Structures are given as C-alpha cells and as structure tokens.
Chain A
Amino acid sequence: MDFHDTSEEAAFRAELRAWLSEHWAGRPLEGGRGDFDALRRWGGELYKAGYVGLTWPSEYGGRGLSPTYQAIYLEEMSRANAPGHPGVIGLNMAGPTIIAWGTPEQKKRYLRPLLDGSEIWCQGFSEPGSGSDLASGRTSAVLDGDHWVVNGQKVWSSYAHKADFCILVVRTDPSAAKHAGLSYLIVDMHAPGVTVRPLVQITGDPEFNEIFFDDVRVPRSSILGSPGDGWKVAMTTLLHERGTLGFALSAELERMVNQLIKLVKEPGPDGRRPADDPVIRDAVAREWIEMQSLRFTNYRSLTTLLETGIPGPEGSGVKLAWSEANQRLTSLAQSLFGLTGLVSDEAPWNGFWQYWQLRSRGNTIEAGTSEILRNIIAERVLGLPKGR
C-alpha cells in the first residue's frame, strides 16, 4: 500500500499543473455548458499539449499511459476549475469501442479527429419506449444493397445537436431473440434523413436531444462487429463509460466541494457567514468526507484494474453515491440564498448554483438510473437472485 505518486506520476502532475496555470488559470465560472465552440478549441489545445487519450495505445494517437495518469489528469483539471474536453461520448464511449471492435480502416478514419475535438460524437441507445431496458429497442436497420436503411427514433442523446457521428444500436433481425437481433452502427449525423430535435431540460438548456432516422442510408461497412453483435458491442461501450467515469465524478465532486467551501465563507443575504453556523459546518464536512471516500474508492478500484485488467465492481456504487452527494451539496448551496437564489437575471454567483442544483436532478437518472445501479449491485456484485 502506497498512496504517494511515483516520481514519474509526480512529474506528470507538476507539468500539468504548470501547463494549466499558464493556459487556463483565471477564466470565469460558467452557469451552463457555455460556448461550445470555445470548448472545442479548448479540447484541441488539450490534445496538442498531450493531455487527451492518455490511456489510449500510442498507435491510435494516445500516450499509452496507465489509468493512474487519467486519474491525475482529472484531479488536476478539477482543482484548476478547468472544463474537460467536450468530446465526452467520443473519448469515453465511441473511441474505446472502436479500438476494441473496429476494423483497421475504421480506426484510421475515426480516432484521430475524435481526440483533437474536430469531430464530436453522440450516442443513440435509449428510445422513447426503451430506456433502462436497452435490448428492447425498436429502431431498425434493413440491408438494401451496400447500405443499411435506418428508421426509428432515439432519445436523451447528449451532444447530438453538435455531433458529427452517432454510435447507434439498431435492430437488424426482428425474428431473432431480443438481444441477438441487435447490431451496432456508426452513423453520419449529417446524412439525409437524420433530424435532431433538442429537448429542453429543467435547467432551460438544450443539452440532450431526440434523433429521428427516416430512411437514413448507412454504408454497409459502417458497423462495429458483425450483424447480431450489437448487444456485446454495446456492453463494451457501457463498461468503458463506467470504467472511466468514477474519477471524473470524484474530481467533479471535489470541484463542487471547493466551491461550496468558498461559498459558505462569504457573507450570506443576511450578512452572516454560513461557515459560522454549526448545521452548515456539519453538512460541508459531510460532503468533504463523502468526496474523499469516493476518491479513494476509485483508487482502490484502480488497483484492482491494474492487477487484474478488469475494473472492480465499485464503479456503479461510486456513480450512485456521487449523484446523491451532488444533489445534497447543490441543494445545500442554493438553500443559503433563500428566494434570491431563484431570481433568474441577477442570480448570485452568476447563476452557478441555480443551474447546477437543477442540473443535479439528472445525475440520478443519466448513465444508469440509481434504481438500475442498485439492481446491478444486488445482482452482479452481491449475487442476489434476479427480479426479472
């Protein structure tokens, strides 16, 4: 057991810190997602400096480093209050799935532009009638010569309104059993027949979308794996989503805890500092402890990953605990403002807490609802009998 950085890790951390203080320090906090084109340029800067695709093999444009470096990257980014690369779906889901299942041509075509932020990806998994039950999806793809013809509707697709490509789960064999009839396509979001309709969230921001596919023609070769492999390929995607997610979440929580500490030390609307109220002090300490527990749970999970090559089962638990902590924390912050916190045009902190408190309600729904995560833990980790 040794929690110190190795000398290589310490050097990487110091180098990144120095780079961030030169390139990011001092930029303002933003309530919502901010200017996407600016984020995209920021992603390009990160790539040029060598901080994107840290764990990817060097033959695909990565640096071939261990996941420990990705953890350090996420920690330092959050401590500098810097936003991440906007190509979240591409980097965490599409990219690793292409590396695992793609042909040499697909890897050559898609991976590099995904790393430098020049091409953005979205995910087409959920459907109006098929949310947590992914395998019940009905969006279809039928072979017609050298093309798949895609028809159907996907929903809750983040970044679709900005995306160049979509990783899409479709039903290619309606006669096969539920899971066996699925395939996994790469779809050009600029193709005729693709319509994106933004869905406005409770924050007022259109962060996710519906995607409609009307006779969209997708080249036959734009498939990952073989027809019928869709479920297996999708599981690779979700494994990577959960595998790398933990550190992003604990780093994000660290950022929020640091903001909360800053907030409670300021005088509130009544002129008193919340930091002088024992109830608030207790709540702040509780979230700091929670954040540390998630950070070290990720490191423990990482040790398992490095030893066995398989991510530990802790990931689902980290997502579950993080989402509830973030909801408690942001609600606590908002509660300090009283009605002032609900004013839209002159909200305290430039609307930061107002936005993130509302946004946090999505945390227990996106990337696996808390109910599904509890099922996963009960069934796959604890070995309890399946309820279905």
Chain B
Amino acid sequence: MDFAFSEEQEQLRGFAREFLASRYDDARLAEIADSSTGVDEDVWPKLASMGWLDQDLTFLDQAVLFEETGHRPLPAPYFSTVALAAPALDADTGKRIASGTLRATLAWAEPGRPQALLDPVETSVADGRLTGVKTLVPDGAVADLFVVVAADGLYAVEAADAEVTPHPTIDGTRRVADVRFSSAPARALASGEEARVLLGRIRDRAYAALALEGVGVAQRALDLLVAYAKEREQFGKPIGVYQAVSHKASNVYVRLQEARSLAYWAAWCVSEDDEMARQACLAAKALAGSAAVFACENAIQGHGGIGFTWEHVLHRYYKRAQWLAAFDGSERAQRAEVAAFLLD
C-alpha cells in the first residue's frame, strides 16, 4: 500500500501550481470570470506545450493537474476536454487535442427528461446525420468538437455544424450551453454495449476528476480562512484564537482530509481499472463535492462581511464548489447508487 504520488507527479504538481498562481492571481481570475466568454483564450496552446494535453499522461498524472486546477481555477475547458470528451475520441483526434488546436466537450443531457449521464436519450442518427437538442453542455460555447450521446451510441460532431446558445452561469469560468443539432454530420465513436461501457467509464473519470478539483477548492478555501483568522483582529486578538472560528477551520480540515483520501483512491482505481472503481468514484464525488461546498461556506462565514462581497475571491470558489457538487446529481444521487451496491 503506497499512497504517494511519484516524484515526477509531484514535480508536475509544483510546475502546475507555479504556472497557475503566476498567470491567474485572484484579480485576473475575477476579470476572466466576468468577461464575455469566461475563458483565457490564449492559454490552450500553452497547456499543449507544457504537455498537459498529451495522450500518454496516466490518470494519476492528470489527477495532480485536476487538483491544482481546483486550487487555482484554470479558465479553460480542461476538465471538459480531458475528462469528458477525450476518453471517447480516436487517436488522431487525441493528437489534435495534444497539439493545442482542439477543445472538446460531452453533450448528454436533453431538456424535459432525466438528465443523468447514464439516462436514455432521444437524439438520433440517420445516414451519418445527427439530430437532437442538448442542454447543460459544460463549456459548450468554447468547444470546437462535441462528443454527443445519441440513442444508439456516441458520435463526434464539429461545433461548426451545431447551433450553440451559451447560458450565463454562476461559475463564470465553467459555463454551460444549449446545443441544437439539425442533421449535423456525425462520426460514429462507439455503439451499443461498447458505448454504454465507455460512457460509464467517462462518468467514473469525471467523478474522480471533479472530486480532485473539489479537494483543490476546499484546500484554497481553508488556506484563505486560516490566513484571515491569523491576521484579522477583533477585541484585541486575532480571531483565530476564538474557538468559534478555529474549530470551523478544524472541521474543514477534517472533511478535506477525508475528501483527499477518497479522491486519491478514486484516481488510483480509475488509472488501474480496479474492480472498486465505480464505488470509489461515487464515494469520492459525493464526499468531495460536499466538502468543497462546506469549506467555502465556512470560509465565507469566517471572513464576515468581506467574505460575502463580489470583490472577494471566495464566491468564485463557492460557485465552482457548487458546480462540482451539482454535476450529474447531488451527493444523494451518488449515495443512492452506493446504497444499491451495499443493500441490493
């Protein structure tokens, strides 16, 4: 049993942390989140040149990047491309991603019906043309390519062949969009049982990735809370001496430790295709999503009025935390599946 990331992975973490901190300080992040697109248009080729988009990265390598891009949000469709779309794509398309010329995402949910990743859909394909309406597509407005879930399998559709309606989203750097496909040229990626298995794996991977981001988010919220509790003085003392404040930080720390342990377990299970991967990913998503929300809520409370302002960075993290927690159903949805595994 060895829980440590490799030396190379720790090195990658160090580079990532440095890169993200220098490129996106809190003010710059706020500026991008409030911009028209919510993304840093120039960063994608840069990610490619750093090797973040390489096809030969293991999921444990990517795990380090997911955690760091939660700690300091990366305003680019990294999660959508790497976790949601890439596992369904062929090697040639993977090369376009690796070279920094393609951003992709997954379109599964449809309006007016159950919208979980594994729920049945109506979107259909005839003679290589895909027709259907998708909603809640992550980073839908900035993707160049959609992996589309259709009734009989997964298809690739170029964004140029789709009609995209962006939605403002409270998490400004990870917005969702509606996407309409009207007889769009579609390339088959997987069908039938193969597609179903693949989509299950994409979901596991997405849960693990979001749990890792959640760990990064909760860590930053805790860092901010602790720093503020040390420096802010009331009644002549730093507020961190008061247990009403310090015990909040301790509670966040405990939840964060738990979330981190499950997120790393899930990441390892995904990378090893372990038999417990499904349960590990469900557990990690459920706990890390709520831990990130819990951390941000405690950090906001610990900051008092300033923590409740638009100007302070905390709400950006809070909204990202809510995004992670809400993805593919709240923690209750994941626990319902865990319960089925335990009880049925």
Binding site for B on A (CB under 8 A): 1-5, 9, 68, 71, 261, 264-265, 275, 278, 281-282, 284-286, 288-290, 292-297, 299-300, 302-303, 307, 314, 317-318, 320-321, 371, 373-375, 377-379, 381-387
Q: List 12 A-B residue pairs with CB atoms under 8 Å apart, sorted by A's residue number.
A: A2-B2, A3-B265, A261-B343, A282-B336, A284-B342, A288-B342, A289-B283, A294-B261, A375-B247, A377-B249, A382-B250, A384-B229
User: Which residues of chain B come closer than 8 Å to A381, judged between CB atoms?
Assistant: 253
User: A300 contacts which of B226, B261, B267, B272 (Cβ < 8 Å)?
Assistant: B261
- CB contact under 8 A between A297 and B246, given known A1-B2, A265-B343: no
User: B250 contacts which of A1, A71, A275, A378 (Cβ < 8 Å)?
Assistant: A378
- CB contact under 8 A between A281 and B1, given known A384-B226, A387-B242: no
Q: Are A289 and B332 in contact (CB under 8 A)?
A: no
Q: Are A289 and B262 in contact (CB under 8 A)?
A: yes
User: Which residues of chain A come closer than 8 Å to B241, judged between CB atoms?
Assistant: 384-387
Question: Residue-by-residue, is B232-259 near A (CB-CB < 8 Å gives 1, otherwise 0)?
Answer: 0000011011110011011101100111
Closest Cβ of chain A: how far from B228's Cβ, in Å? Answer: 11
User: A307 contacts which of B4, B262, B336 (Cβ < 8 Å)?
Assistant: B4
Q: Are A375 and B343 in contact (CB under 8 A)?
A: no
Q: Are B240 and A384 in contact (CB under 8 A)?
A: yes
User: Which residues of chain A come closer than 8 Å to B258, judged between CB atoms?
Assistant: 290, 293-294, 297, 317, 321
Shortest Cβ distance from A388 into B: residue: B241
Shortest Cβ distance from A307 into B: residue: B4
Closest Cβ of chain B: how far from A72's Cβ, in Å? Answer: 9
Q: Are B339 and A302 in contact (CB under 8 A)?
A: no
User: A377 contacts which of B2, B254, B274, B287 (Cβ < 8 Å)?
Assistant: B254
Q: Does B19 contact A (CB under 8 A)?
A: no
A294 to B343, CA, bound (A): 21
User: Which residues of chain A come closer than 8 Å to B60, judged between CB atoms?
Assistant: 1
User: Which residues of chain A come closer than 8 Å to B238, judged between CB atoms?
Assistant: 384-385
Q: Does B79 contact A (CB under 8 A)?
A: no
Closest Cβ of chain A: how far from B317's Cβ, in Å? Answer: 18
| Those 6 A-B pairs whose CB atoms lie nearest each other, nearest first | A293-B258, A296-B261, A378-B246, A281-B339, A285-B335, A303-B3
A2 to B229, CA, bound (A): 37
Q: Are A1 and B335 in contact (CB under 8 A)?
A: no
Chain B 261-312 residues near chain A, CB threshold 8 A: 261-262, 264-265, 267-269, 272, 274, 280, 283, 286-287
Closest Cβ of chain B: how far from A99's Cβ, in Å? Answer: 25
Closest Cβ of chain A: how far from B340's Cβ, in Å? Answer: 8
Q: Are B343 and A264 in contact (CB under 8 A)?
A: yes
Closest Cβ of chain B: how far from A297's Cβ, in Å? Answer: 4
Q: Are A299 and B339 in contact (CB under 8 A)?
A: no
User: Which residues of chain A come closer than 8 Å to B264, judged between CB atoms?
Assistant: 1, 296, 300
A384 to B257, CA, bound (A): 18
User: B249 contacts which of A286, A297, A382 (Cβ < 8 Å)?
Assistant: A382
Q: Does B96 contact A (CB under 8 A)?
A: no
| A303, A375, A384 pick with most chain B CB within 10 angstroms | A384
A295 to B283, CA, bound (A): 13
User: Which residues of chain A come closer than 8 Å to B36, judged between CB atoms?
Assistant: none
* Extra A-B contacts (9), CB below 8 Å, given A378-B246, A384-B226, A385-B241: A1-B5, A1-B267, A282-B336, A284-B342, A290-B258, A292-B280, A373-B250, A383-B226, A384-B240
User: Which residues of chain A come closer than 8 Å to B229, judged between CB atoms?
Assistant: 384
Closest Cβ of chain B: how far from A71's Cβ, in Å? Answer: 8
Q: Does B22 contact A (CB under 8 A)?
A: no
Q: Are B283 and A292 in contact (CB under 8 A)?
A: yes
A371 to B260, CA, bound (A): 23
A54 to B243, CA, bound (A): 39
- CB contact under 8 A between A292 and B265, given known A281-B336, A384-B240: yes
- CB contact under 8 A between A68 and B240, given known A293-B261, A374-B250: no
Question: Residue-by-residue, is B320-344 near A (CB-CB < 8 Å gives 1, otherwise 0)?
Answer: 0000000000001001101100110
Q: Are B260 and A375 in contact (CB under 8 A)?
A: no
Q: Are A285 and B336 in contact (CB under 8 A)?
A: yes
Q: Are B259 and A293 in contact (CB under 8 A)?
A: yes
Q: Are A317 and B286 in contact (CB under 8 A)?
A: no
A5 to B2, CA, bound (A): 9
Q: Are A303 and B2 in contact (CB under 8 A)?
A: yes
Closest Cβ of chain B: how far from A381's Cβ, in Å? Answer: 6
User: B243 contacts which of A293, A294, A371 (Cβ < 8 Å)?
Assistant: A371
User: Which residues of chain A come closer than 8 Å to B267, judged between CB atoms?
Assistant: 1
A317 to B243, CA, bound (A): 16
Shortest Cβ distance from A320 into B: residue: B254
Shortest Cβ distance from A378 into B: residue: B246
User: Which residues of chain B come closer than 8 Å to A292, judged between CB atoms?
Assistant: 262, 265, 280, 283
| B4, B272, B274, B280 pick with most chain A CB within 10 angstroms | B4
Question: Residue-by-residue, is B128-163 near A (CB-CB < 8 Å gives 1, otherwise 0)?
Answer: 000000000000000000000000000000000000
User: A384 contacts which of B4, B230, B259, B332 (Cβ < 8 Å)?
Assistant: B230
Q: Are A9 and B250 in contact (CB under 8 A)?
A: no
| B251, B259, B274, B343 pick with most chain A CB within 10 angstroms | B343
User: Which residues of chain B come closer than 8 Å to A378, judged between CB atoms?
Assistant: 240, 243, 246-247, 249-250
A249 to B286, CA, bound (A): 22
User: Which residues of chain A come closer than 8 Å to B286, judged between CB atoms?
Assistant: 289
User: Which residues of chain A come closer than 8 Å to B260, judged between CB atoms?
Assistant: 297, 300
Q: Are B259 and A5 in contact (CB under 8 A)?
A: no
Closest Cβ of chain B: how far from A359's Cβ, in Å? Answer: 22
User: A297 contacts which of B237, B240, B257, B342 (Cβ < 8 Å)?
Assistant: B257
User: A385 contacts which of B240, B254, B257 (Cβ < 8 Å)?
Assistant: B240
User: Which residues of chain A come closer than 8 Å to B242, judged between CB atoms?
Assistant: 387
User: Which residues of chain B come closer than 8 Å to A377, judged between CB atoms?
Assistant: 249-250, 253-254
Closest Cβ of chain B: how far from A65's Cβ, in Å? Answer: 13
A286 to B241, CA, bound (A): 33
